[in-house]
A = this chain, B = another copy of it.
Amino acid sequence: MTEAQARKPGSGSWQWGRTAQTQRALLDAARDVFTRQGFAEAGIAEVVERAGSSVGSLYHHFGGKSELFLALWQEHQLAYEQAASAAVAAARKSGVTDPAELFAAGARAYLEGSWQRRDLAMLFSTGDGPPGFELMKRHRGHEWIRQNDALLRLSDTSLDRLYAAVLTSLIGEGSREVAAAKTRAQADEIINAVIEYARRVMSGGPARH
């Protein structure tokens, strides 16, 4: 593929995205290798081999193994977030106003994404990643909830942070289970159950002392 596309047609006019191509190839190869072996086990060598690229190139474009992993994660996150916010917007448009329902709509889209892209969902939930990765994930998760329910007037109380943390980890755990499901039907069951649990947690809102 790399070779075929690299062959210049007629003149030589197309140099569009030589960079983009390389990065794409590297990311795809990284997906293959990391999802099969995890971060620690995976070797940079195999990645560049599969990508038909080279170590130097990888470093040029990404800066290192960790950064490559992170780039892969960010793509994945982007897909999640776009799907989720689109779903929330759609629900809102069709008249839903209850914050819990809007949240549920977003969560469903999120979990849907875990089923498509199971491989990545599993990879990022195993706890195997570059130093500091767990922290980044937690951070991102909290932001997501915070944003998703700026609706819910969450303040900076430790109890509100807990509420967000609990919902985040609920969706996160659900995501893992969905990704581990054997069939689409099973995944659907799990998605529904997770939403149900989320509703239960949200019933009554954040705990007050």
Contacts and interface: CB of A to CB of B under 8 A. Distances in A.
A1 to B, nearest CB: 34
Nearest to A186: B158
A197 B134 contact: no
A131 to B, nearest CB: 6
Given A177-B165, A201-B197, A189 B158 contact: yes
A209 interface: yes
Contacts of A173: 165-166, 168-169
Interface string A87-121: 00000000000000000000000000000000000
A209 B187 CA distance: 12
A170 B165 CA distance: 9
28 contacts: A40-B131, A126-B134, A126-B135, A127-B133, A127-B134, A127-B135, A158-B177, A158-B189, A159-B190, A161-B177, A162-B174, A162-B190, A162-B193, A162-B194, A165-B177, A166-B173, A166-B194, A169-B169, A169-B170, A169-B172, A169-B173, A189-B209, A192-B209, A193-B206, A193-B207, A196-B207, A200-B201, A200-B204
